[in-house]
Amino acid sequence: MKIETFELERTQSLWENRVKHNLTESGLLPYTLTELLGEKEIAKLLSIRIGYGQTNGSIELRETISRLYPRTDLDNVIVTNGAAEANFILTWSLLDPGDELILMVPNYMQIRGIAHSNRVSVKTFPLREELNWGPDIEELKRLVSQKTKIISVCNPNNPTGAIMSQHDMEEIVRIAMEVDAWIHADEIYRGSELNGIESPSFSGLYEKVIISSSLSKAYALPGLRIGWLVGPKDIIEKAWKYHDYTTITAGILSHYIATVVLQPEMRKKVLSRSRKILNENLEEVKTFVKKHQDLFNFIPPRAGGMAFMRYNLEINSTELCTKLREEKSVFIIPGDCFGMDNYIRLGIGNEKEEFITGLNLISEFLQEIKEIK
């Protein structure tokens, strides 16, 4: 097996702890335990023996997760170490060499890399900027074949922050049904919608749907490393067999905290905090873009922890972001990490003052570039 470099993760890992201002995070400002939990919950946490948790996820946690999706119960759920493991297990267990995967782009490119390593044919269908980052349904129709095993989407989308319409979701389901393909929906940003209206899940629209998600993004709890897959019971049972060969189980303390967080009132409180941070920082981005309106084309995100924008400068995106990092110690993600030069991704889930400081330094940098030219 030959693994290709995961450019986005490697780029972030190399530099995120070596700069003064990291604007690459695609999630929300993480909680501390004292911010998140009350005295009763902390006392319970301190009393838990730090042993192995149930390998497919505690009964309480799986029941709690299942209530987020229509017509599911605990046996439709497996708990993983973050969505990264969920995506890995999904790809490993469902795709064989010679199978065909159709992947929405731009996207978090983990699944493409895993599929390539397993000699799976990967085709891509795009979100179009001219469609307000809506999916090119006609292109998807042209790409599907009887060999198509999985159509993989990310909704709400990373990096654009777009949310698919109900019509587009139904069209993707119809296309998948025609060739008997699975739909994998990465819904890790569900709950971070800036208007407060939670986007619908693909779960329940079609019998061959598998959802991956986690607490890392919308819930601002990446350090818990709690993710999950939701799907038909036989597929989840199969995923559990593969999970036994990876990390065995997520941490038992994380199981407990996740169960607390996903209770209805607590979930509502956590997501409300996330939306407040995102909306406040998005206003700062809009002001920034207006100040540099000759340089940027920007469709504001509708969900998620990032802003994705096209710039009008004759410089490669990796080169641009490298110069910014070296000259201002501000780190942003180049569009090259998504196969889209002349774009950048800013994380907008940071603490507000730190975020504004980073934007001001980017403004200085852009002004200096203009003066040089």
Cα end-to-end distance, the chain, whole Å: 47
* Domain 7-31+267-366, second-level architecture: Alpha-Beta Complex (3.90)
Q: Stretch 339-356: mean pLDDT, rounded?
A: 97
pLDDT value at residue 30: 97
Q: Which of 83, 87, 123, 88 is nearest to 103 (CA)?
A: 123
Residue 8 has pLDDT above 70, yes or no: yes
What does pTM read for this prediction? 0.96
Looking at the chain, which residues constitute the CATH 3.40.640.10 domain(s)? Answer: 50-263
Question: For tokens 């838990």, what's the residue?
Answer: 48
Q: Which two tokens stand for residue 258?
A: 């996740």
Q: Any residues with CB less than 8 A from the CB of 339 and at least 6 apart, and which? A: 105, 106, 109
Looking at the chain, which residues constitute the CATH 3.90.1150.10 domain(s)? Answer: 7-31+267-366
Centre a 10 Å sphere on the Cβ of residue 72 and count the other Cβ atoms it contains.
22
Mean of the per-residue pLDDT values for the chain? 96
Q: Helices in 20-128 by DSSP H: which ranges?
A: 33-36, 39-47, 59-66, 82-94, 110-117
The angle at the Cα of 7, spanning 4 to 11, to the nearest 5 degrees, equals: 140
pLDDT value at residue 373: 56
Phi, psi of 342 (to 5 degrees): 70, 20
Q: Any residues with CB less than 8 A from the CB of 79 and at least 6 apart, and which? A: 56, 57, 58, 61, 62, 65, 226, 227, 228, 250, 255, 258
Where residue 369 falls among pLDDT bands split at 50, 70, 90?
A: confident
* Domain 50-263, second-level architecture: 3-Layer(aba) Sandwich (3.40)
Residue 298 has pLDDT above 80, yes or no: yes
Residue 371 has pLDDT above 60, yes or no: yes
pLDDT tens per residue across span 126-138: 999 999 999 999 9
